Structure 1
Amino acid sequence: MTARAPIAPQVLAYAAELRGALIPLVDTFRQRQADDGTVADPSSADRRLLERIRDEASAFHRRHGRPEQAEALIADVDGWLAAGLDTPPHFGRSRDVLQAPADGSTVFFLAPLQSTNSAPPVGKRLDFFFALRKEPDALPELALSYPHPKNNCQSLILLAGSAGFAQGNCIVFFPENVAAHDKITEQPYAMFFYNKFRRIHETYALPGAAAVLTADSLPRASSDLAPEVCFEARAIWGYLHDSMHYQGLWPFDQHISLKMNWFVGLLEEIKVDAKTALACADGGVPFAQQQIDMILLERIFRYPQADDATRNFDSGTGVFLYSWLREYGALTGSPAEGGLLHLDQDKALAALREFVATVERLEAAVATDDDYRAAAKDLVRRHLPAGEAKQRYRFTEDQRVLLRAKGGLDRLPPLTFAEAEW
């Protein structure tokens, strides 16, 4: 069990300062932006608002000993003002000068960026977050058994943020999310706001599963968790998931372009989550059952409910995994006429072992990137049939049971994280 560590009062005061001073300004400005970050017909009021945001944010950087971030932000804003706010923003300087915070330290970042899965509208709009890094208490010991050769991930507690982070389901920030004219060549940080996960999981994943599964087979270990326990379990899942990407015959860091292929990447994501669940099942991992349940519930019962599910990468992983478990007898019953399915978790774990073995046999059999892509597409198409134009796949009649709760969940207002939840 983990102990809840209090957040220093001074840190909470900084968060309150940002909520009062900066959030209203940023949220007003981002309403003027299009999805690509541009401002149509920018006025002098738009310019003055952005200048004020620049001054407030850069002063905060300086007060907290981050002059490099202040200078980069000023240069990026001034460059955008000079080019015209009706041109796409370029905040590469701010992106590149940002450094991952040390464990126990805070991080503040402001730029036009894509806050993935936040409340609409989502695009390269101005946003900021202020967060505290808090790595799992169990991580040092766990890393001995499950070493990560290139760990660049940070577990964070979101303390304050503008609409893209304070509303909706965005729990990630990567450098490639930042609006910029150039692309990154490496990923020096990957930040995860895991304190948001508990409410997201209980609001969407659990009801989504309850609409499909019999009450006696519904996974429950990940529900009603204390905030600090949920944070710890989710952060460990994140660490194990990421470490699994660097194992095997085709490690992610050596084959990034290949693994970005939609079909290859879909199998990769399921594989690393499956290996995480199996590591938990095999013993020696803290909060093991909580993580197994989180993985099954999120992957299968939350991700497929996205509005763009037939184009969405994560949704595809969940729909595929659902049908894989059906094929291997882990999900039984008929969904016809509102029927519920029974989940056998032992058979689900056996099916995950077979999935990992299947993908690893595929990886051993292919010799080139083209071979891998072709084999991955063949395997994915076993359970995700081709869809209409511009769609990656279509739901089969059996798979549509995963959408049973969608109508009710879509009517819920976006989750709001106005205060630190920890």
Structure 2
Amino acid sequence: MQHKIKIVEEINHCRLEILSEGASSDPVRIAQCVRKTLEGHSDNAHVKLLLENMENHQLGSNNLLELTFTDDPDFILGFFEVPYNPDAFLEAAFVEAIAIPQNVLDIVPESEALPVLLHCCSDGFKNPLSVAIFAENFRDAEVKPYHKAYYLIEKFVDRFKSYTRPAIEAAWSPTAFPDVITADDDLLTRASAIWVHLHEYYHRTGYLPLPEHLKEKSSRNGAGAEELRVDILSILALLDLHANDPVLRASIQYILAERLIRYPLQAPPKENYDARSSVALFEYLQRHGVIGRKGGRFYFVGGYARLGEALRSILVKITALEYRISQSPADDRKKKLSFLLPDLAKNNNRWELLS
């Protein structure tokens, strides 16, 4: 463990030196720095391969990506390009996988998500927007079906504690999210891991699964509807399972709170598809009497039993629509999918009024 931590520290030193010199596009200078900094760690397979790449001034990191997935999934090293994270460059991370409970694995044995805890990482991965590391983020990656997405779960927990929990405390009844409002970091970590495990799995189900139908779901409304669909599927799966299991009960509340509350706190619905899904879900539940307000605080009328019925109703609508759309010409699907969220919200697609 200490050896890998030291390698991450050395990588961070090297990346800072290169960036401070403005040499991030100079493969010769990068190679010099990497060799000088890391040659004493060549007994590590990742470092050895990186040094070999540097001999050819190669910044492409597909072979390092493969090494992570075939040899040492707890260690990530390479050059990265991430559109939403301009800090990403030469990065490294030492992680530990989070176990998914067996009762969840019984219904979803495999997922494209790999939830992890960070033992340490270089500065580029510390960017708040970097909540996951995808195979396509490695420079010149050749993405394969077995490449999973690393989800950095501490960042999910931090977001919940920074945005969602204060919003619950300020505006919701204590009965609405009783388990997560008092949950410690360990329980929030386990709930987050279950969320991403189920979330990524359900993206690949249905009549228009991802990634095959990503283009059709690429509008803000289409993407928001897809995010809402998979989280509803996750919540319903856990509702069917939980049988007073405290971790699953907390996971249900956690997923619901994140989908229903957090996203509009971080981005306006006019600009953000996740925030639109939150608005649409809230408006639907309130319009159908599932969310009520008493004493200035929101609560779930009829508790989670009635909430589950309402979520099943939404899922039926989404599933029926996706089936009909799947039978229509591909060129028409994106437009048709864009009507779902405004219909749930009954807002005539005027998201700026709800931002």
TM over 0.5: yes
1:126 aligns with 2:104: no
Name the CA shift for 1:22/1:102 in 2 (closer, same or farther; >3 Å).
closer
1:84-123 Cα deviation digits (max 9, x unpaired): xxxxxx63535653533679x521223233285xxxxx42
1:109 aligns with 2:68: no
What is the match of residue 91 of structure 1? 60
* Mapped partners of 2:12, 2:323: distance in 1: 51
Q: TM-score, normalised by structure 1?
A: 0.69
- Kindly provide the amino acid, as one letter, of the partner of residue 262 in structure 2: R
1:360 aligned to 2:333?
A: no
Contact 1:208 1:301 in 2 (8 A): yes
After superposition, where does 1:168-247 map in structure 2 within 5 Å?
168=128, 170-180=130-140, 184=143, 188-213=147-172, 215-247=173-205
Quick check: 20-29 or 240-249, which moved more? Answer: 20-29
Point out the more displaced range, 105-114 or 358-367.
Answer: 105-114
1:395 aligns with 2:352: yes
Aligned pair partner of 2:257 in 265, 285, 297? 297
| C-alpha deviation, 1:134, in angstroms | 2.0
Residue from 73, 92, 105 that aligns with 1:143: 105
What is the rounded CA distance, in whole Å, between the counterparts of 2:117 and 2:70 in structure 1?
A: 12
Give a deviation string over 1:174-215, Cα, whole Å, max 9, x none.
1233455x88576722111223332321122111233332x3
TM-score by length of 2: 0.81
Partner of 1:166: 126
Structure 1 residue 52, shift from structure 2 partner? 1.5
Cα separation, 2, equivalents of 1:15 and 1:384: 53
**SS of alignment partner, residue 373 of structure 1:** helix
Question: Does 1:330 find its partner at 2:297?
Answer: no
The offset of 1:276, in angstroms, is: 0.7
Describe the shift of the 1:27–1:294 C-alpha distance in structure 2 as closer, same or farther (beyond 3 A).
farther
Higher alpha-carbon deviation: 265-274 or 203-212: 203-212
Question: How far apart are the structure 2 equivalents of 1:59 and 1:135?
Answer: 31
> What residue is the counterpart of 1:374 in the other structure?
335
Q: Quick one: distance in 1 between partners of 2:285 and 2:176?
A: 15
Equivalent residue runs for 1:5-16 within 5 Å: 11=1, 13-14=2-3, 16=5
Q: Deviations over 1:347-379 (max 9, x none)?
A: 432221111110011022221333432221112
Q: Do the aligned residues in 1 keep the contact of 2:93 with 2:122 (CA within 8 Å)?
A: no
Deviation at 1:18, TM superposition (A): 4.1
Amino acid at match of 1:14: H
Give the share of equivalent positions with the same residue, in percent.
Answer: 17
CA distance in structure 1 between the aligned counterparts of 2:35 and 2:160, rounded to whole angstroms = 35
Contact 1:18–1:160, Cα closer than 8 Å, also in 2: no
Structure 2 residue runs of 5 or longer lacking an equivalent are none
Distance in 2, matches of 1:101 and 1:155, equals 17
Alpha-carbon RMSD across the aligned residues, in angstroms, is 3.6
Task: State the alpha-carbon separation in 2 of the partners of residues 16 and 184 from structure 1.
Answer: 27
CA distance in 1: counterparts of 2:35 and 2:214, whole angstroms: 35
Kept in 2, the 8 Å contact 1:58–1:71? The answer is yes
Q: Flag as ranges the 4+ runs of structure 1 deviating above 4 A.
A: 27-33, 46-50, 57-60, 182-187, 384-387
Distance 2:55 2:120 in 1: 24
Q: Give deviations 1:369-411, integer Å, cap 9, x for gaps.
A: 3343222111223338688xxxxx6332xx44xxxxxxxxxxx
How far does residue 73 in structure 1 lie from its aligned partner after superposition?
Answer: 4.8
Report SS of the residue matched to 1:145: coil
Residues 308-327 of structure 1 mapped to structure 2, 5 A cutoff: 309-327=269-287
More helix by share: 2
In structure 2, how many angstroms separate the alpha carbons of the residues matched to 1:258 and 1:58?
A: 48
Please state if 1:272 is matched with 2:253. Answer: no
Change (3 A) 1:395 1:208: farther
